[in-house]
Amino acid sequence: MTMTAEKPTPTGATPGFPLTTGRTKGYQRKAVDAFLARARASFEGRGDGPRITAADVRTVSFPLVKHGYVIASVDAALGRVEDAFAGRARGDAISTGTGNIWVAQSRASAQTILDRVSLPRGGRFRRVVWPKRGYRIDEVDVVVDKLAAYFADGRPVTVEQVRSVAFRRQRRGYNEAQVDDMLDTAVDVILALG
């Protein structure tokens, strides 16, 4: 894959991310730029729409197009933006006196994860029905074991490790939505513990 950061955007400005070339698809530039502008305005307390949260940043998706922004570059930037929003939320909770609620919610989320990971390997999530495919059970269980060690014993796991995890698929594998939801909750808790 060849990338360039010099190709102008339709508005004539130089993009902030490298662009894909050839048949490789990337995130639509206009959609990424619009979301990041909205996120910046929300973070700075400007803008008309609802306030953006760390979860909004984590779950945003963009159309894939030719000559779009390189996905890994945008995802890395979104990770930093999510961190900033999570830090702001944590700071707001502490400064407004709702820090105890913040801590209680984080503990409840961590306990939910610990309850899930205490289940036996191979049975931690629902399985999809044959012949559908879900996440590979053994791969998910390895990640879940690492999260269990983090929450139970304080072994190091970074938000970036959780964000970047990818699983192959298998027939009768784990339900993807259930696994993704648990990973999102783990990211929320790790960011809350900051």
The answer to whether 1 touches 23, Cβ cutoff 8 Å, is: no
Whether pLDDT at 7 is above 70: no
Average pLDDT rounded to a whole number, residues 126-141: 92
Q: Which amino acid belongs to residue 147?
A: L
For 94-120, the pLDDT digits (tens) are: 676 655 666 677 778 778 888 888 888
Average pLDDT rounded to a whole number, residues 8-22: 64
The overall average pLDDT reported for the chain is 82
CA atoms of 128 and 173, how far apart (whole Å)? 6
Q: Give how far Cα 142 sits from Cα of 36, 113, 121, 122, Å.
A: 34, 14, 9, 11
User: Which of 55-59, 143-147, 187-191 ranks highest by mean pLDDT?
Assistant: 143-147
**pTM listed for this prediction:** 0.61
Two structure tokens written together for 34: 């619009």
Eight-class DSSP state of 170: E
CA atoms of 84 and 64, how far apart (whole Å)? 26
User: Which of 78-82, 113-117, 127-131, 135-139 ranks highest by mean pLDDT?
Assistant: 135-139
